[in-house]
Amino acid sequence: MKLTIESKNKVLYERAKVISKEILAPRAHVYDREAKFPRENFDDLIREGFTCLTLPGEYGGPDLYSDPVTYVMILFELSKGCVNTALLLHMHNSITHFLITLGTSDQKKHIADLVNDGKIIASHGGESGTSTQWNRKLDTRAELVDGKYVINGRKVFCSMAGEADCYTLWVQVGDDWDVRKSMCFLLCPADHPGFTIDNKWNSYALRGTVSHGIKIENVDVPANCLIGKGGDPIRVDITPKFGLGYAAVYLGVGAAAYEWALEYSRNRRLKPTNNPISSYQPIQRLLGEMKIEMEKALLMVQRAAWTLQAFGAEEAYPLISAAKFSASEASASITDNAVKLAGGAGLLEDHPLERLHREARSGLVMPPNSEKCLDTVAKSVIEKNPEFAGTP
């Protein structure tokens, strides 16, 4: 075992820490309060090259999905500053990676050009009448008419709706209901007049993601906007990677809450002793619990990322589910404990804690949600064998 990061991409990780602290953290409460897309953050991240993280070397990027440990640690650090931003950046970087992996050489170049040009790509799979986690049948469908795909349907939870430059729609093409054959990615320009955004996003958590619903009416795009083949979006070596990033992003929420609580407990002094509350045993006990949950979940995330690199996506799949479960459950419990530790102050808007507490709830439902993760892990134990890849 070796727990240090020794990759050539370490500079990016170090840079992410600075960006998180100096750029993202100071603005985080604004995007939350106003439920606004973190445009200024994205401008800065584009300038810093962070929207090109997953581009392959031939297109000038560091191809970070070939180094998933560093990739998730970058997300983790960014999320400590602003979880909205980290989540959206992860969506953009992941869908970019999938599309470039699946595309023809012309398509690869086109997508790389867009990303190098500072364009932002969203990915919209969610629908209100079907579950993307369990059965994945889609209502949004496309027909090939005169060499163009014509798309109709409705998507929900569309992060960066009205803000991204391109939407990657998860669509069923043709009449075949078997999603393994017919579900495809269609990369569409966001300014197509067939898109109507409902502007109803007013959520309790992840407010800055502006995940409105989108109505899709006769959106027609050239045939070369279809990337990959039918069934690609649900391939086990593709979309589970979303889940790995979510794990890191949502663990960042817990880490931020822990770090805030630690700092708060060191500085908060009460009469008559005037000792910092961190010297009280009940507080130390809470800090101990939080720290332990944090470290354990972080190891689970790192191990899943390492497994992805060392053994490939199929082997990593149950570990990614285990990591996602550990991370989101840890952040939910850590933010709870942080509120207990802080007392009334934890509920006030003056501190980031109430926001972090809300954000952590979103980690529990983000796919794969906690129950789905348990299901995946259990199946791998029961159907394959009780050991994970790389288990001693």
Ligand X SMILES: Cc1cc2nc3c(=O)[nH]c(=O)nc-3n(C[C@H](O)[C@H](O)[C@H](O)COP(=O)(O)OP(=O)(O)OC[C@H]3O[C@@H](n4cnc5c(N)ncnc54)[C@H](O)[C@@H]3O)c2cc1C
SS (H, E, C) 274-317: CCEHHHCHHHHHHHHHHHHHHHHHHHHHHHHHHHHHHHCHHHHH
**By CB under 6 A, what part of segment 117-136 binds ligand X?**
122-126, 131-135
Radius of gyration of the chain (CA): 21
**By CB under 6 A, what part of segment 365-384 binds ligand X?**
365-367, 369, 371-372
Q: Does 135 bind another protein (CB under 8 A)?
A: no
Q: Does 211 bind ligand X (CB under 6 A)?
A: yes
**Which pair of tokens denotes residue 182?**
């017919």
Gap between the Cα atoms of 237 and 86, Å rounded? 22
Q: Using omega within 30 degrees of 0 as the cis cutoff, is the peptide bond preceding 56 cis?
A: no
User: Per-residue x/- marks for another protein, 1-20, CB under 8 A?
Assistant: xxxxxx------x-------
Q: Coil, strand or helix: which one is 163?
A: coil
218 binds, among ligand X, another protein, none (CB under 5 to 8 A by kind): none
Q: Does 92 bind ligand X (CB under 6 A)?
A: no
Nearer to ligand X, 172 or 302 (CB): 172
Gap between the Cα atoms of 322 and 55, Å rounded? 27
Nearer to ligand X, 99 or 389 (CB): 99
Q: Does 249 bind ligand X (CB under 6 A)?
A: no
Gap between the Cα atoms of 170 and 382, Å rounded? 31
Q: Does 363 bind ligand X (CB under 6 A)?
A: no
Q: Using alpha carbons, list the distances in angstroms from residue 294 to 69, 128, 281, 356.
A: 17, 33, 20, 15
How many residues of this chain bind ligand X (CB under 6 A)? 24
Among 159, 265, 328, 380, binds ligand X (CB under 6 A): 159
Q: Does 291 bind another protein (CB under 8 A)?
A: yes
Among 150, 234, 299, 345, binds another protein (CB under 8 A): 299
**Host H or E run for residue 128:** none
Q: Does 94 bind another protein (CB under 8 A)?
A: no
Q: Coil, strand or helix: which one is 109?
A: helix
**Short-list 109, 110, 118, 111, CA closest to 51:** 118
Footprint of ligand X on this chain (CB under 6 A)? Answer: 91, 122-126, 131-135, 157-159, 206, 209, 211, 362, 365-367, 369, 371-372
Q: Give the footprint of another protein on this chain (CB under 8 A).
A: 1-6, 13, 69, 73, 255, 262, 265-266, 276, 278-279, 281, 283-289, 291-292, 294-300, 302-303, 305-307, 310, 322, 325-326, 371, 373-379, 381-382, 386, 388, 390-392
